[in-house]
Chain A
Amino acid sequence: MFNLDEVRAKFPILDQEVNGHTLVYLDSAATSQKPQSVIDIVNDYYNRYNSNVHRGVHTLGTYATEGYEGAREKVKNFINASSTMEVIFTRGTTTALNKVAHSYARANLSEGDEIVLTKMEHHSNIIPWQQAAHATGAKLRYIPLQDDGTITLEDVREAVTSKTKIVAMTHVSNVLGTINPIKEVAKIAHENGAVIVVDGAQSVPHMKVDVQDLDVDFFAFSAHKMCGPTGVGVLYGKQELLEEMEPVEFGGEMIDFVNLYDSTWKELPWKFEGGTPIIAGAIGLGAAIDFLNEIGLDEIEKHEQEITEYALEQMKTIDGITIYGPKKRAGLVTFNLDDVHPHDLATALDSLGVAVRAGHHCAQPLMKELQVAATARASFYLYNSKQDVDIFVDGLKKTKEYFGDVF
């Protein structure tokens, strides 16, 4: 059974006052908070067995390697990859997507080819493809958005053609909360001979993801949005694709034999992990996965849905509020209040201890599409309560009054 009080008690950071008020943290889509178990395991690594991996003959090196590779096994099971060879540790989602854009895209794209994106992508799933297109002469093509911030499969079929080599799409929009039909899009991509690359930064923390069931070719996500440490993430790729790909970074850890004029690479996944990896981070991610599994992603998703529905209901009662995104959405609400700029709104809420995000959310093309310069966003996770929502909504009303007096 999901017990919110027990869950909250596991996050030490929540138990504090900010600007004289109990912290209400509604910015988990930017980064989630960390449970004590994750904080402890990272400390434990540094306190007891900090060592480099894959090279030391000594005991601590063995512990570190076991911890690091054990985390890979946990990731493999968590997303149901078919082998740990398909799990590459990266610095985060951005690095993971860049690896695909550098290695796979540059080797497989040529002039006239197309990369299909949606208009709701985060900058990290736009710019790597722009750069790959500039380098190869390929073109970008965008699937349009419906008024409610969703895409239709008809539009996907229209955009994905025999010219398409790559479809790059977010699983869940960090602004709209839209959940994209990845499985269906993957099918369309494959029917046209394209691969699909998925930005899973906003989905993996919140819902069960099975990369084999979705039949995606590449899938990227970050540890820090799923209760894990910053600075570590994952690139999943199908083994047969990864085998064919050249590494992006060259140096220590990723080599087999090094000669004066040429070298060979280690096997998967290490050929993509040049340099000393993010050992503590990966071990922390493993602990985050244990933590999420213990509570259960189904329970987490259910709880977030309840909170989000409740928030939407309450927010809709405020005059002059505009809410962006579809009815069926992941656990976040992006909005604007008439006559209050989102920065002013976020500052006002912060003075009440409520943390929300304001700005363009790393999605400038989407902001243009929505015809706004900036928006505010409240995002929820397993530790948020209805009381958090009440404090937030009350804060919105007060903010509206405060700034309303001036106008």
Chain B
Amino acid sequence: MSFNNLDTLYRQVIMDHYKNPRNRGQLEGDHITVELNNPTCGDRIDLQLKIEDGVVKDAKFEGEGCSISMSSASMMTQVIIDRPVDEAIKISEMFSDMMLGKEMEGYDFDIDELGDIQALQGVSKFPARIKCATLAWKAMEQGVEKEE
């Protein structure tokens, strides 16, 4: 018995984000807060966004969940900070395509250039875990909508 196939899911970089999450904590000052649950499994994210002039100035999160949901949240905040909101949403759509195993076509970005999120590509092979990976991104989309 071995876990060879698990390595496609649990890449080193994912476990690094899980163990040392980036942008974990509470934002000071004015910001938007979104709390989202994954009701089927109990994962929870509390995402805070600071948006100024259509740009994500800062993002932090707290919450609890598995390595996939928490590492995805960590990677997501890294990617969206200092990006215009519409770009963040486009990246979220691209991420969603990646999770569904679709071709990521028609985007102005290259997945390799979007921080570490490419490492989550393996999640698409584990359908039961896709919701874990997309939780933080859904929270971000809702937060951005709140701002608008």
Taken together as a complex, chains A and B put the C-alpha atoms of A329 and B3 apart, in Å, by 32
Stretch at the interface among A3-11, A225-233, A255-263, A343-351: A343-351
Q: How many residues of A contact B (CB 8 A)?
A: 25
- Taking a contact as CB atoms under 8 Å apart, the answer to whether B67 and A344 are in contact is yes
Stretch at the interface among B39-47, B48-56, B113-121: B39-47
- Taking a contact as CB atoms under 8 Å apart, the answer to whether A373 and B68 are in contact is no
Taken together as a complex, chains A and B put the C-alpha atoms of A378 and B42 apart, in Å, by 18
- Taking a contact as CB atoms under 8 Å apart, the answer to whether B42 and A364 are in contact is yes
**What does the 1/0 interface line of B1-39 toward A look like (CB < 8 Å)?**
101011001101001001100000000000000000000
- Taking a contact as CB atoms under 8 Å apart, the answer to whether B15 and A342 are in contact is no
CB distance from B14 to the nearest CB of A (A): 9
By beta carbon, the residue of chain B nearest A375 is B42
- Taking a contact as CB atoms under 8 Å apart, the answer to whether B15 and A406 are in contact is yes
CB within 8 Å of B: which A348-367 residues: 348, 350-352, 358-360, 364, 367
Taken together as a complex, chains A and B put the C-alpha atoms of A279 and B1 apart, in Å, by 44
- Taking a contact as CB atoms under 8 Å apart, the answer to whether B1 and A395 are in contact is yes
- Taking a contact as CB atoms under 8 Å apart, the answer to whether B41 and A358 are in contact is yes
Partner of B68, one of A19, A342, A343, A359: A343
By beta carbon, the residue of chain B nearest A362 is B40
Chain A residues closer than 8 Å to B44, beta-carbon distance: 373
Partner of A343, one of B1, B6, B12, B41: B41
- Taking a contact as CB atoms under 8 Å apart, the answer to whether B42 and A359 are in contact is yes
- Taking a contact as CB atoms under 8 Å apart, the answer to whether B42 and A347 are in contact is no
B139: interface (CB < 8 Å): no
CB within 8 Å of B: which A100-133 residues: none
A2: interface (CB < 8 Å): no
Report, as a range, how many residues of chain B touch the other chain: 20 to 34
* Contact A21-B1, Cβ < 8 Å, known A347-B129, A360-B42, A373-B42: yes
Taken together as a complex, chains A and B put the C-alpha atoms of A84 and B129 apart, in Å, by 45
Taken together as a complex, chains A and B put the C-alpha atoms of A342 and B69 apart, in Å, by 12
- Taking a contact as CB atoms under 8 Å apart, the answer to whether A373 and B65 are in contact is yes
Taken together as a complex, chains A and B put the C-alpha atoms of A347 and B42 apart, in Å, by 16
By beta carbon, the residue of chain A nearest B69 is A343
**What does the 1/0 interface line of A332-350 toward B look like (CB < 8 Å)?**
0000000001111001101
* Contact A341-B67, Cβ < 8 Å, known A347-B126, A347-B129, A398-B1: yes
* Contact A407-B42, Cβ < 8 Å, known A344-B66, A347-B6, A373-B64: no
Taken together as a complex, chains A and B put the C-alpha atoms of A374 and B63 apart, in Å, by 13
Taken together as a complex, chains A and B put the C-alpha atoms of A402 and B12 apart, in Å, by 12
Partner of B3, one of A348, A359, A407: A348
**What does the 1/0 interface line of B65-82 toward A look like (CB < 8 Å)?**
111110000000000000
Taken together as a complex, chains A and B put the C-alpha atoms of A395 and B6 apart, in Å, by 13
By beta carbon, the residue of chain B nearest A348 is B6
Chain B residues closer than 8 Å to A402, beta-carbon distance: 3, 6, 10
Chain B residues closer than 8 Å to A367, beta-carbon distance: 42
A394: interface (CB < 8 Å): yes
B91: interface (CB < 8 Å): no
* Contact A19-B5, Cβ < 8 Å, known A360-B42, A367-B42, A373-B44: yes
B132: interface (CB < 8 Å): yes
Partner of B65, one of A341, A351, A395: A341
Taken together as a complex, chains A and B put the C-alpha atoms of A347 and B125 apart, in Å, by 12
- Taking a contact as CB atoms under 8 Å apart, the answer to whether B66 and A342 are in contact is yes
Chain B residues closer than 8 Å to A398, beta-carbon distance: 1, 3
- Taking a contact as CB atoms under 8 Å apart, the answer to whether A347 and B128 are in contact is yes
By beta carbon, the residue of chain B nearest A350 is B128
CB distance from A288 to the nearest CB of B (A): 27
- Taking a contact as CB atoms under 8 Å apart, the answer to whether B41 and A347 are in contact is no
- Taking a contact as CB atoms under 8 Å apart, the answer to whether A374 and B9 are in contact is no
CB distance from A4 to the nearest CB of B (A): 23
CB distance from A155 to the nearest CB of B (A): 27
CB distance from B140 to the nearest CB of A (A): 21
Partner of B9, one of A347, A358, A407: A347
CB distance from A353 to the nearest CB of B (A): 9
Chain A residues closer than 8 Å to B19, beta-carbon distance: 406-407
Chain B residues closer than 8 Å to A351, beta-carbon distance: 3, 5-6
* 3 tightest A-B CB contacts, nearest first: A343-B66, A341-B66, A406-B15
28 A-B residue contacts at CB 8 Å?
A: A341-B67, A343-B41, A343-B43, A343-B65, A343-B66, A343-B68, A343-B129, A344-B68, A347-B9, A347-B128, A348-B6, A350-B128, A351-B5, A351-B6, A352-B1, A352-B3, A359-B40, A360-B41, A367-B42, A373-B44, A374-B41, A374-B43, A395-B1, A398-B3, A403-B10, A403-B15, A406-B15, A406-B18
- Residues of A participating in the B interface, judged by any CB pair closer than 8 Å: 19, 21, 341-344, 347-348, 350-352, 358-360, 364, 367, 373-374, 394-395, 398, 402-403, 406-407
- Residues of B participating in the A interface, judged by any CB pair closer than 8 Å: 1, 3, 5-6, 9-10, 12, 15, 18-19, 40-44, 64-69, 126, 128-129, 132
A347-B126, A348-B6 given. 13 additional CB < 8 A pairs?
A: A343-B68, A343-B129, A343-B132, A344-B68, A347-B128, A352-B3, A360-B42, A364-B42, A367-B42, A373-B43, A373-B65, A403-B15, A403-B67
